[in-house]
Amino acid sequence: MGRIANLQGLIKRNQGIYVTNPINILYLTNFKDFDDKQGRVFINKDSVFLIFDTREKGQIPSIYKDINIVITGSFKDDLEKIIKKEKNKEILVESKNISLHEFDFFKDLQECILLGKAKIPPQGCTRLYTPGVGGTIKIKKTVDLIEKLREIKDQEEVKNIKKACLLTDKTFEYVKKKIKVGFTEKETEYLIQDFIRRNGGDLSFDTIIASGPNSANIHHKPADRKIKKGDPVMLDFGAKINYYMSDITRMLFIGEAKPFFKKIYSIVLKAQKLAIKDLKNGDRDSKRIDAIARNVIDREGYANNFSHSLGHSFGLEIHENPRLNPKSEDKLVQGNIVTVEPGIYIEGKGGIRIEDDILIKEKGVEILTKSPKELRNMVIK
């Protein structure tokens, strides 16, 4: 369990971390089939406890040789037993994902131990209480401790993301053959969803299909608008394989692209290519990479029409760190996977966005999404 070992490398002896975020539990254990309110992980320097509600008993795998499986009717009682057995002096909790009820439990536990010198057990103090023996235990909130580990994808994660990107590329080619004048945005959305699901995947996020002036809306929801000849049609979607995602944006023009859209398409494509070239050449400064693409768009007079970040990482979730934006302090490293997605959006007319998924390697990069993006390949006659 290399991911758990990486986390154990960050905690001290007598520390324990209580994991409540279901995505982090999936990342650490690869166990997918539990209700996020009925499963928790408690990790110490040398031990791991996977704690399940009794209702999940039939779903628990037998493959975890290095993980203690705890079937519980009472999380409180069994956690107290574990903490006492492991002699924990500090409990780390995920501040973004722990419920108030669970946090109160740990605070009460802390109080019980502090009051241990009393001869009569304080009310509610049972397992951890030893009459006449006081002690201390700290409860410490953590922020993105496991999420930081998730930023660097291991070989298995990269393999799954590549599969998701391959399905995404196949989906785009399929849609190119099917889409035509008169299709609605919702019908086009269905083409994407149906193809991905028929080919063993799921959706990474809500598909964006935006045609004509709707393409100026960065996160447009597909509507009943019919695609017209010459419309820019924005397709922003992703496939998910084994819980790992992909994310791509391509533009299509049915019939012929109008001169205005040809112009801004060439600007956006140039901005993206220069940013990717900079990554290939070894630049790992997220802010500077964002600036390279943004400066191309700014010089053409569209500084106010590129209003989002250049890119973001993804994996088990569609938006993860590191981020590529003007305020980012992130430095990319080998194993990061990020999108590069510049855009120009003109209210009332339409917009252009081009997006690819990029794996950062020790030297250079690998472009994981292979769909063509030259304008001549985006026009459907």
Domain boundaries, the chain: 2-150, 155-380
pLDDT digits (tens, 9 = 90+) for 139-189: 899 999 999 999 999 999 999 999 999 999 999 999 999 999 999 999 999
Higher pLDDT, 74 or 380: 380
Structure confidence at residue 129 (pLDDT): 44
How far apart CA 113 and CA 126 sit, in angstroms, is 10
Structure confidence at residue 54 (pLDDT): 53
Q: What is the DSSP letter of 303?
A: G
Q: Which two structure tokens, joined as six digits, stand for 62?
A: 């037998």
Q: Residue range 340-361: average pLDDT?
A: 98
Q: What letter represents residue 36's amino acid?
A: D
Percent of the chain exceeding pLDDT 90 equals 71
Q: What letter represents residue 40's amino acid?
A: R
Average pLDDT score over the chain: 89
Torsion of CA 53, 57, 60, 64, to 10 degrees: 80
Structure confidence at residue 72 (pLDDT): 59
Homologous superfamily of 2-150? Creatinase/prolidase N-terminal domain (3.40.350.10)
How far apart CA 168 and CA 246 sit, in angstroms, is 7
Could you tell me the pTM of the whole model? 0.91
How far apart CA 143 and CA 244 sit, in angstroms, is 23
Q: Residue range 12-35: average pLDDT?
A: 85
For the segment(s) 155-380, the CATH number from 3.90.230.10, 3.40.1410.10, 1.10.287.4070, 3.90.1150.10 is 3.90.230.10
